[in-house]
Amino acid sequence: MLFSAAASAKDIVDTAVSAGSFNTLVAAVQAAGLVDTLKGDGPFTVFAPTDEAFSKLPEGTVENLLKPENKDQLVAVLTYHVLPGKVMSGDIAGKTASPTTVQGSAVAIDATGAAVTVDDATVVQADIGADNGVIHVIDTVILPKM
């Protein structure tokens, strides 16, 4: 299990930091200047890729995105993982949806099968509560069509 029940008394960033399996995501959020946003009131729904998910990207992708000159692209990738509002798994169970992300593009969510998918990612742990929203852990970094 990636999160403990005690993690819910923190905002989304602190919850991700305390889990220990989102070091790459946290570093990217810091590099993109999004920490204050994700510590804000929200509520937010975050599809959080694990460190293992980031490691599946082609070699050099993460390092390239973290360069200061690529900040706009990094912000786009990260905000594609965020929905405004708090969407719990029970809200979409048995449905498909294409909500608009904070980045501005729609993401395809399919909760009709045994596993919930978000674009090409599978939700591996859902409904991790935070003071300002909810985290759903995904096994793949999702990328907006740019």
pLDDT in tens, 74-128: 999 999 999 999 999 999 999 999 999 999 999 999 999 989 999 999 999 999 9
Neighbour count for residue 124 (Cβ, 10 Å) = 16
pLDDT in tens, 4-24: 444 446 999 999 999 889 999
Q: What global pTM score does this model have?
A: 0.91
Element (H, E) at 71: helix 71-79
The sheet with strand 82-84 has its strands ordered as 82-84, 44-49, 133-138, 121-130, 117-118, 109-110, 96-97
Q: What is the pLDDT of residue 139?
A: 97
The DSSP 8-state label assigned to residue 93 in this structure reads: T
CA dihedral 67, 69, 70, 72 (to 10 degrees): 130
d(CA 101, CA 88): 15
Flag whether pLDDT at 141 surpasses 50.
yes
